Structure formats: structure tokens, C-alpha cells
Chain A
Amino acid sequence: MNASVDALRATFGTAIGRAVESCGDTIVYVARERLLEVLRWLRDSPEQGYDYLVDVTAVEYRDRERPLEVVYNLRALGRRSELRVKVELDPRGELAVDSVVPLWRGADWLEREVFDMFGITFQGHPDLRRILMWETYAEGYPLRKDFPLRGRFSRAEQVRQALNANPEVHYSMEELSIAEAYHELPPDMRERIRRGEPGTPPDSE
């Protein structure tokens, strides 16, 4: 068991849930409300020093009663130590968790991918929109268990939507003024661009 778990319990008390060891890795569950605080402490406290966010991903289990999990793989480059932090989200409630982009800028696209595939909202993310599927994708979140393997629409409808799509609407916000696909964007993205929101950089560092 990773010694960081005891240090976490001593510092945050009840915000730290159960901790298990699996295949040599330590997994620690953290309360959703204090996730950002815990991760900031893990990154900044000198004896922890988890300065590298390896991956952000999510898990949904086949058992519908089990909560969804958002998984943060941390690595302390100096100490060569790894820790896996998980947050549980009730599938019946709001699927939202604080964004860790203010801590690790590299979490930007990782969180966008989790949002794209699971529909989990990351509050405070500077530019939360789909990253693998296209902006106008309307069939839902592909890695959720209730998503049919071949998609919700018929193949003909999928081909029709794909062929009618303008490839330029996949460009990033910065490129859109060149691509001139503004009017084909979804309304909420138009609104974001109109507000002059090119994807604000995270404030820390």
C-alpha cells in the first residue's frame, strides 16, 4: 500500500474513502467535493510530489447500481511513485466533477475525451467540447453502457449526417475565422465564440 494513503487520511480525514491495492497499484477513493483540494495537495506538498498527471479516464460498470468512476493516474516523477485517485459519481445524479486543468494543463484534452465518451462535465474546464466525435454528434456518449454498439441512428442516417457535415466545423475555435464554418456550428459554440472565448488558458503557473 502506498504510504500516501495514510498521509491523505491524516490530512483530509473523511474526504478520503476506502483504499485498495490492485496489481501492485494503490487506488484511493476521494469525495467529489474535495477532489481539487486533494489533488492540489498531492501535487504541491513536498513529501508527496505527484507532479505528473498520467491520465484521466472514467469507468462505468455493467452493474447499473454501481457508481461511475473518474480515474486520475498520478505519478511522482522524483520519487518514482504512482497513485490512482478515483472519484465516484452517482449515475442518477449530475455527472459533474471539478476540472483539474488549473493543476495540470495537460488534463485539457484528457477531460475533453472523458466528456466526449461518458458525458461527464468538468466544471471549470476552459473549453469543454467533444474531441473525438464531431461537435454536432447527436447520438449520445459512446462509452456509456446504455449506448448501443452500432450507435442509435440507422446506418443510412449516420451516413447522411456524415456526408452532410462540413469538415471545417471540426476545426478548433482559433481556426474557425479562417474556415468560415461559423454558421454551421451548434448554437452554444457560436455563443462561446461570440463572447470571444477562444479557450482561456488555465490561470495557475
Chain B
Amino acid sequence: MKRVMETKEVAGQSPNYLLAKFQGLVDWAVNASRANSLWPMPFGTACCAIEFMATAASRYDFARFGMERQAFSPRQADVLICAGRLPFKLAPVIRRIYDQMPQPKWVISMGACASTGGIFDNYAMVQGIDTVVPVDVYVPGCPPRPEGLLYGVLLLHKKIRGESLFDAVPRREEQPLDARGLRLSPETIDEISEPFGNSVHQFRST
């Protein structure tokens, strides 16, 4: 009974037990197919890309999790893996790649630099790629070990398995940039780009 109530909540519209069961089955099938055949679009800009390559190579081999084919074209990719720091010069590039990927799509931010700017708290570096594209999984580390990236991929699997096609809230729709050409409000970007940790003590003139 508890399960029915939960399903009803997720399904939103239907109190029907059979229908909810059917929707659950469809969700399971769709999500299992999506999660187990994630084609990554590698966006490797720094040392994280080396760990990414190690993850793809024979010892760690993320082909075991259905990521056999790396899509070097965004049109055939499911998950964008930003491995490495993102300079402002590449921000429009990763945004365009993200926009070119078909739905459903996910983003993994691999490593400290992609997630927060890392040690590069300077004039040239985006302080976290979530100011440019929405991110699903952040993998910490500098760079993360292949196990770390694999764990991030498995977390993404878990997240995908929790999605529902029949959710009243449309989760999978394009999130274009707003009229200002931003993804987040300027205040939010300034807030999440604030220096933290050691870089608080860095000298900043004017």
C-alpha cells in the first residue's frame, strides 16, 4: 500500500493501481536503457582528462557501465564530462556543445577546477562550470582517481533511475540562456564565484 501511495505521488494524475504499476514498469525500462548506455562527450581540458582516459582504458574500463562508445560529436552524446579547468574563452564553446546535445542529457563536472575553479581563482577561469551549464554530478579531486569518476558515473546512474517519464514536472526540457545571456542570475554567479579556502587570503589590488 505504501508503494502505491508513493507511485501515486510520483505519477501525479493517476490513482489507478494498474496504471501506476505500468508507468513504473515503463520508467524502469526507459531509465535502465538510458543509464546503461550513457555515451560520454569528453570535454577534456587539463590533467583530469588524463584520468578520464585512464578510466576509459582497459584497467578501469567504463565500457563496463555502458559507456563503450565515446561520442566525439555532441549530437550523439548523452553525458558531457567536463574534465579540467574551463577558461572564459572556452565558456561559449562548452555552452554550444551542451546546446547541441539532444535531450535527455546530463553533465558531470570532473575535478576541483571544473566544479569550483579550483586553484585557478584568477582573471581567466570560470569559477565552476555550473555558471555556464547545469551540472548533475560533481566529482571532487585534483584530479579525481578513476575510481572517483566511476563513482560519479554510478551516482549519475542512480539519479537517472530515479527519474520518471510521467512526472507532472517536465524535467527534460532545454534550459536556454535568459535575455541577459546568463544561466543564473548575476547575484548567484557572484556568490558562487566568491573566493574560498586559501584564495581568500590572496592579494587583490583595487
Which residues of chain A have a CB within 8 Å of any CB of chain B? 133-134, 139, 142, 146-152, 154-167, 170
Contact = CB atoms under 8 A, between A and B. Distances in A.
Interface stretch (B73-81, B117-125, B134-142, B146-154): B117-125
7 contacts: A133-B124, A148-B123, A155-B193, A159-B131, A160-B180, A163-B181, A167-B93
B126 A160 contact: no
Which 7 A-B residue pairs are closest in the complex by CB-CB distance? A156-B186, A151-B123, A155-B193, A162-B91, A162-B88, A156-B189, A164-B181
Interface in B17-39: none
B198 interface: no
How would you classify the secondary structure of chain B's contact residues: helix, strand, loop or mixed? loop
Contacts, number: 81
A160 B180 CA distance: 7
Interface string B168-201: 0000000001001111001101100101000000
A176 to B, nearest CB: 17
A170 B90 CA distance: 11
A149 B202 contact: yes
Interface size class of B (residues with CB under 8 A): 20 to 34
A133 B8 CA distance: 54
Nearest to B203: A149
A147 B190 CA distance: 19
B127 interface: yes
B127 A155 contact: yes
Contacts of B127: 155
A134 B190 contact: no
Contacts of A161: 88
B123 A139 contact: yes
B123 A150 contact: yes
Nearest to B189: A156
B123 A163 contact: no
B188 to A, nearest CB: 8
B79 to A, nearest CB: 21
Given A155-B189, A157-B186, 12 more contacts: A148-B123, A148-B205, A150-B195, A151-B123, A156-B189, A159-B91, A159-B131, A159-B182, A162-B89, A162-B126, A164-B92, A165-B92
